């Protein structure tokens, strides 16, 4: 995960460990809108939470009222959970990078490489791939192929 200087002061650490927080925004006092950074809380293991920057999210899949998310952790990827719906998560994420593929999936376009339709795998730019058993509309597939590959 990214380590930022503004996370290291005592006030920030207190805010991070508050159990009722789901999103934390850190901002530069001079220019709040241009320099704000938002972190989202995910559960890595039972009762172990990790704060993630939206740019570290590769992919999210819906599982009832939980979202299972593939997150970039340095040079490897980890699956983490969040108690929310895809709609709620998509509302938090920056709109220019993320697209909802269907009612089950959200994709970060910055990591997208291609869709292997024969094997039904979604491939990322760093050679990671994941199975996608649920159908993605042909329109979305054509759009992704024409724009991002």
What are the tokens at 137?
């509309």
* pLDDT(44) > 70: yes
- Mapped onto helix, strand or coil, the DSSP state of residue 27 is coil
| pLDDT per residue as tens digits for the range 65-75 | 899 999 998 88
* pLDDT(9) > 90: no
20-24, 39-43, 47-51, 99-103: which range is least confident on average?
20-24
- Residues 23-50: what's their mean pLDDT? 68
What is the model's pLDDT at position 141?
Answer: 87
Classify the phi-psi angles of 124: left when phi > 0, otherwise alpha if psi is within -120 to 50, otherwise beta.
Answer: beta
Which residue ranges form the domains of the chain, and what is each CATH number? 5-148 (2.40.50.1020)
* pLDDT(108) > 80: yes
What is the model's pLDDT at position 118?
Answer: 83
* pLDDT(1) > 50: no
* C-alpha–C-alpha distance, residues 51 and 17, integer Å: 10
DSSP labels, 36-104? -EEEEEEEEETTEEEEE-GGGEEEEEEETTEEEEEEEETTEEEEEEESS-HHHHHHHS-TTTEEE-SSS
* pLDDT(46) > 90: no
Classify the phi-psi angles of 127: left when phi > 0, otherwise alpha if psi is within -120 to 50, otherwise beta.
Answer: left
């Amino acid at each position: 995960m990214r380590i930022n200087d503004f996370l290291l002061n005592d006030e920030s650490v207190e805010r991070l460990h508050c159990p009722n927080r789901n999103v934390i925004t850190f901002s530069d006092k001079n220019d709040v809108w241009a320099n704000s950074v938002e972190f989202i809380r995910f559960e890595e293991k039972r009762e172990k939470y990790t704060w993630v920057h939206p740019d570290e999210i590769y992919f999210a899949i819906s599982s009832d009222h939980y979202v299972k998310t593939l997150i970039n952790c340095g040079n490897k990827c980890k699956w983490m959970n969040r108690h929310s719906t895809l709609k709620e998560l998509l509302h938090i994420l920056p709109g220019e990078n993320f697209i909802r593929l269907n009612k089950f999936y959200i994709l970060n376009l910055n990591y997208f490489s291609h869709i292997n339709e024969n094997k039904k795998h979604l491939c990322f730019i760093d050679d990671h791939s994941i199975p996608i058993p649920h159908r993605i509309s042909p329109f979305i597939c054509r759009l992704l192929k024409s724009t991002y590959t």
